[in-house]
Each structure stands twice: as C-alpha cells, then as structure tokens.
A and B are shown apart, each in its own frame.
Chain A
Amino acid sequence: MSNATLERTSDLSTRRLAGIAALVAAAVFVLWGLVAPASTPGRILRVMFTKSALSATLRLSVPIAFAALGGIFAEKSGVINIGLEGLLIISAFTGVYATDVTGDIWLGLLIGVVSSVLLAALFAVVCIEFRADQIIAGLAVWLIALGLAPFASQVIYGGPNTASVETFNTITIPGLAGIPFFGALFDASPMVYLMFVATVASWYTLNRTSFGRWVIASGENPKALDTAGVDVTRVRYAAVLISGLLAGIGGAALSLSLGQFVGNGQTMVNGKGFIAIVAYLFGNYNPVGALLSTFLFAGLDALQLRLQAAAIIAVPQSLVRTIPYVAVIVVLALFGKTRLPEAAGEHYESGEDR
C-alpha cells in the first residue's frame, strides 16, 4: 500500500469514527430519553415528536425545499444559481401584490411565479448568452431583488411592508389527520402537498426522462451532449427557468401563507434561499435528499423554538437559536458527500458557427 492511500484510508476512518461517535451519542440520547421521560432528553424527545412540531417543520420547509429543488435543476445543468434568495424575495412580494390586486390567491401565486421566472430568465441570458460569471450574476439577482421588492412596496404601499391579503386554507384529510404525530402530514396547507409532489416530480424528471439526462449531461460533460446533437444552451436555459419556477412557488408560498410581505432588512425571506443551497448540496443534488436535509434543518428550527419556550435546556436563548445551524454544519462535516457536476460554473461554447 502506498503512502498516499494509507493517509487517505486513515483520513477516511477518522471521519468515519467521528460519524459513528455522533450516531452513538444520538442513540444514547434517544435511549436515555425513552428510559427516563422526566430527564432533559426525555423532555426534548417529547416536544420533538408532537404533531405540532411536525406541522411546523413542514411549514418551515416549504420555501427552502422549493428553492433547493430549483437550485438542483440549475446546477445540474451547469449553471450555479446562487440567486435563489433573490428569486424567493421577488416572488414573495409579487405574490402578495398580485393577490391584493386580483383578489385571487391562486392567481397571485401564479403571477409571483411568473416574476421569479422572468428574473431567472434575465440571469440565464446574462450567464449563458453573455458568459457572465455565474456567482457574480447570481449575487446580482439577489441584490436586485433585495432592493427592488422593498422599493416597489414603498411605491405601492408607502412602506416596506405590504397590506395583508388572504392566506391558503388548510386541507385536512378526515380521519388520517387524527393520527398522532404523522397526522400533521394530512392536515396542512396545499403548498405542503405541492412540495411533496414537486420533489417526486423533480426526481422523476431528473432520473427517468430524457430531458433529465440532458440536464445532467449538460452539467457533467456538455461536449458529449453537444456531440449527441442536443443544444446545450437550450437545455441550460430550460433548467434555469425551471429553477425560477420552483423558487417562485417557494417564495410566493412563503408570503401567501402569512398574508403579508415584510421588506425590511433581509426581508421576510431572511436567508432561506441560502439555506436552500446548503440543503441541496447536502442532499448531493438528489431532490429527495434535498427534501430530507431541508426537513433536518426545518425540524431543528421548529425544535429550537420549542426548546426556547419550554426552557428545557438552561442555555441563553440566542444560543438555542443557533442549534439548527450548528447541527447542519456538524452533519455536513461528518456525513456530507457532495460531488459537484464536472462542468458546473463553466461556460460552454459550441464549436458550431452561428
């Protein structure tokens, strides 16, 4: 065995050891909680596995999961879309505004999505047609939305916050909604159901359709795709527009679930688009993986709020609030395995004369 391989194995096994240690710690924690329900772990488990915690997780997941799905499409095709946050912001505002004007929440959702697709289209043109740096253009998308949405609100509503509009009604499936804990899955906003549908549809599209294979090829080996006679540019355009579509649903769902757009500071989106990037990287570009890692983050966020309220662990509340972020970093370091698409971030120029 050469030196290099030896180091590699030992490096891997350190990480594996740390991973196993973390898993054992988690198992001990759960066991302790089960054996002694009055102890701190027992109380944490009790607030964790409630129907209300699960519904909170699902609601908190919606914007993150949609943005993550959108990010997967764009990045799989070779265009790193770091502007997901901006797409969420613009659709969150437009969704509320359109609902306010038309009086129809579904039309509002649609128009919100359209605005996000348009911004994504601008991003696509800049990156694909004019070969701009994808990271810089992505940041521009974010900054444009961060400036534009509160500004539009200022013009229309006289302040960075919009008026209140109606919200989505909860869809309750009788009977199933009564199940403890899992009942939350059958007693949720239509956007939650749509999140599951979109995840499955994204997975199917990427893995079972020829368009999905084109997207993957366009990100891994665009030359091969070009040689096979598929227009790489068109595939990338389509993928970025899909990312705009999905992120748009997420953003509009966020603001329309709450009935108002708040445009101060980081706006009500408050970094969810960036969390989404972490979620899909952590899920290794698999839509289902991205959804699960979103659940991890959102679940910890929901838990964090409950730990604060019930004052279960005796640490300052500002530290309790960091639990989701710390946990995601730890899990990412120990179990994360992300392989970027080969050609992600690179511009592809077909050899053809046009």
Chain B
Amino acid sequence: MNVDRRTLIKATGAAGIAGLAGCTGGPTEGGDSGSNDSGGSGGNDSSGSGNESTDGGSESGGSSDINVGMIYATGGLGDGSFNDQAQTGVQQASEEFGVSSNDVQPSEVTEFQTFQQQFAQGGEYDLICCIGFLQAEALAETSQDYPEQNFMIVDSVVEQSNVASYTFGENEGSFLVGQMAGLLTQQEFSAGAGQTSPDQTTVGFVGGVEGDLIGKFEAGYRAGVAEASEDIEVQVSYVGNFNDVQAGNEAATAMYNDGADIVYHAAGNAGTGVFQAAQEAGKFAIGVDQDQSLTKSGYADVILASMVKRVDTAVYTSIENVVNDSFNGGSVTTLGLEQEGVAAVYGDQIGSEIPEDVTSAVSESRQAIIDGNIEVPADPSNL
C-alpha cells in the first residue's frame, strides 16, 4: 500500500509538471513559414525544454535563409489584437522574403528571459522579435549577454547596439478615436446594434494595467474627447490585467449603465468583455491594435472604429532590414500617425454610418497632429 501511494504521488507530480510544461509551451514552428520539411519536431513542442532545431526551415524552398524567432506578449495568439497583428507582420515577411520563423507564446512575464536566452543561445536566429513592453527588462540583460545576436522590441526602448526598438504614437491614434467618440456622444446617432443618448454626454475608457504604455492610450483619448467638447465626462477604469474578460465586461457595463455611449478599450483579451457589454447595453465600443470589427466580427455591429497599431509594420520592417543586411540596431523608430504606424480605422460594418461632419473633423485633426499643430499628451496625469 505504501509503495502504491508513493508511486502514485510521484505519478501525480509528474502529471503536474507535464501540465505546467504544457502551460509554458516550447518554441513552435511558425505554421506559415514556407515549407518546413523537418517533420515531427512539432510534436515535441509541449515538453517546453527544447531549443527546437530548425535545420529544416532554413534549407526549405524559400528565397532567403533568414530565420526569425518570435517571442509574443503574454496575451498569446488569438487575442484578436496585439499578438495577431505581430504575426501578420512575420507572415507577410515570410511570404515576400521566404524567411522562416519559430515562435513561442509565454504566459508569464517571468518566462520572457528564458525564451529570449533559449532563442539567442543556439545562434540560429538572424533576428529575435520581442513583442510587448513587458519584455524590455529581460531583453536589457539578454541583449548584453548575447552581443552578436540581433533583437528587436516592440513598444519599448532598449538602449543596446544590437536592439532595434520600435514604439508607436498610441496617444495620437487614441486622440482621433477620442475626438470621434466625443463628437458622437453629443449627437443622436444609431447604427448596427447601438445608439447614443445625446442628453448624457459621457464616454468611457477601460484599460488593462496602469503604466506608461496604457497611459498613452488614456491620455490621447481623453485629450481627443476634450477636443470635441470640454463638457464631456470621461470615465476611466483599469481591470488590473489583460485576461479577465468578466472584469472587462463589468467595468464597461458599469459605464454604459452610468450613461456612457461609447467605451474605448486598451485591455487586450479583457476588451472582449467590453464589446460584449456594448452589445448587451445597445451602445458602442472602440477597438484597439487591430481592426477589431474584422478580428472580432461577432461584435462588428457595435464597433465604431479601432485604433489600429501597425505592430505588423514594425515586425515586417525589422525583418526587411535584416534581409537587406541593414539591421538598425541601437535605433528607436517611432511610428506615429505620420508614419502610418497608428491609425483610426472605422468599423467594417457600422463605420460607414458615422456622419460626415464627424469623420471630416477627425481627418482634420489627423492632419493637424501630423503638421504639429496639435500636441497630444502622452501621460494622463498631464491633462
């Protein structure tokens, strides 16, 4: 009996560790990266330990032997925004240059460094793309340990000669959707499954985690709303993470019940809850990072617009630079409205119903920001 018990506890422990390993996930072959002939390597991915050998990828039929390692943000692929957008960039690069790629989807911040080192150690990657500002701290160390390895980081700046940093003018794009929301909440407007109540001029913002990055979204949005009218109330809530859909839903529901007509989110997966709340309340929402009226098409009837952030451009450009042998390590590229790194994209289904005066005011502001006539704050405490 005693032996049985011990064996079983061991077995349970092993199962638990296997479970954890599944959670961590190993590098996986990028599905679209040309024709990978090294069959079977995909099967071992879940063991989480492996530096996957990528010999198959580089000699495959593509026109380039560039190999890219993608380390996604904790939101994971399928978030319908940030990470999917980054994937679009690497897919485009693999189509055009035939680069091959491996990716990992860490689920905890603590895993970033492990994966960065794992990718860098083998030396088989020409570029390692670190998606998301949470990787910056880990990358600052890793890039020092592997000075020969090329890295790129999105949404943050790492001052190392082997790191190309890409940041975005989120505040500029958010300004435009904020102005749109501010103009619409003062009007009587109905489209798709939503309608505004012009007697109450309130709009909302649901953020993921407080910090410099999401603060840029909030600051730009609030400045945009204020541009439309100083009298509009902007309600702001933070969920505290990017995954709790229920909390995102409740945060937005509270705003809609309090008279908000339009809620903008920068809350990753939790933002799905915002769209759902909009549908239930019969109000509107604004998506983020990707055109979410397409990626979350079930909610297209309430998504007025999305503040698109071209993470794909950043990823694509960095790969292109490596392909052309002109990797711009140590530089910081800011993709704002002018570089078309951010944009306000109207909803696929109901965007066309937004009145002319609103859209023209928004495009005037866009030009004014590009021309430097409007200064958009990046920090909500400066408003």
Task: Sort chain A's interface into a size bin.
Answer: 35 or more
Is B246 close to A, CB under 8 A? yes
B70 lies within 8 A of chain A by Cβ: no
Stretch at the interface among A19-27, A150-158, A277-285: A150-158
For A317, give its contact among B210, B246, B273 (CB under 8 Å). Answer: B210
A264 with B74, Cβ < 8 A, contacts A59-B250, A137-B12, A270-B241 known: yes
**Least Cβ–Cβ distance between B289 and chain A, in angstroms:** 14
The smallest beta-carbon distance between B148 and chain A, in angstroms, is: 32
Nearest CB in chain B: distance from A309 CB, A: 4
CB distance B298 to A52 under 8 Å? no
CB of B272 within 8 Å of the partner chain: yes
CB pair B298 A164 closer than 8 Å: yes
Encode contact with B along A297-309: 1 for CB under 8 Å, 0 otherwise: 0000110011011
When the two chains form their complex, are residues A126 and B246 in contact, meaning their CB atoms are under 8 A apart?
Answer: no
Assuming A130-B8, A140-B16, A147-B22, is B253 touching A267 (CB within 8 A)?
no
Q: Which of B175-183, B232-240, B301-309, B343-351 contacts A (4 or more CB under 8 A)?
A: B232-240
- Interface digits, B33-49 against A, CB 8 Å rule (1 contact, 0 not)? 00000000000001000
Q: Is B75's CB under 8 angstroms from A264's CB? A: yes
Q: A130-B9, A140-B12, A143-B16 are in contact. Are A159 and B243 (CB under 8 A)?
A: no
Pairwise interchain contact B238-A318, C-beta atoms closer than 8 A = yes
What A residues does B25 contact at CB under 8 A? 151, 154
B-facing mask of A25-55, CB < 8 A → 1, else 0?
0000000000000000000000100101100
Indicate whether A148 reaches chain B with its CB closer than 8 angstroms: yes
Cβ–Cβ contact B254 & A56, under 8 A: yes
The verdict on A212 contacting chain B, using a C-beta distance below 8 Å, is no
Q: Tell whether B78 is near chain A: CB-to-CB under 8 Å.
A: yes
**Could you say which of B22, B79, B244, B245 contacts A150, with CB atoms under 8 Å apart?**
B22
- Beyond A158-B77, A260-B272, A262-B243, whether A317 also contacts B238 by CB under 8 A is yes
CB contacts (< 8 Å) of A309 on chain B: these are: 204, 235-237, 251, 254-255, 258
| A16: interface (CB < 8 Å) | no
Interface 1/0 per residue, B252-281 and A, CB below 8 Å: 011101100000000001001100100000
B230 interfacial by beta-carbon distance below 8 Å = no
B46 touches A151 (CB 8 A): yes
A338: interface (CB < 8 Å): no
Does B19 lie within 8 Å of A148, measured CB to CB? yes
Interchain residue pairs with CB less than 8 A apart (5) = A130-B4, A151-B23, A161-B269, A308-B237, A310-B258
> Could you list 14 further interchain pairs (A-B, Cβ under 8 angstroms) beyond the known A148-B19, A167-B276, A308-B237?
A130-B4, A131-B5, A132-B9, A144-B19, A146-B19, A147-B23, A151-B25, A158-B78, A159-B76, A258-B273, A264-B269, A268-B243, A317-B236, A317-B237
Binding site for A on B (CB under 8 A): 1, 4-5, 8-9, 12-13, 15-16, 18-25, 31, 46, 74-80, 105, 107-108, 204, 210, 235-238, 240-247, 249-251, 253-255, 257-258, 269, 272-273, 276, 296, 298
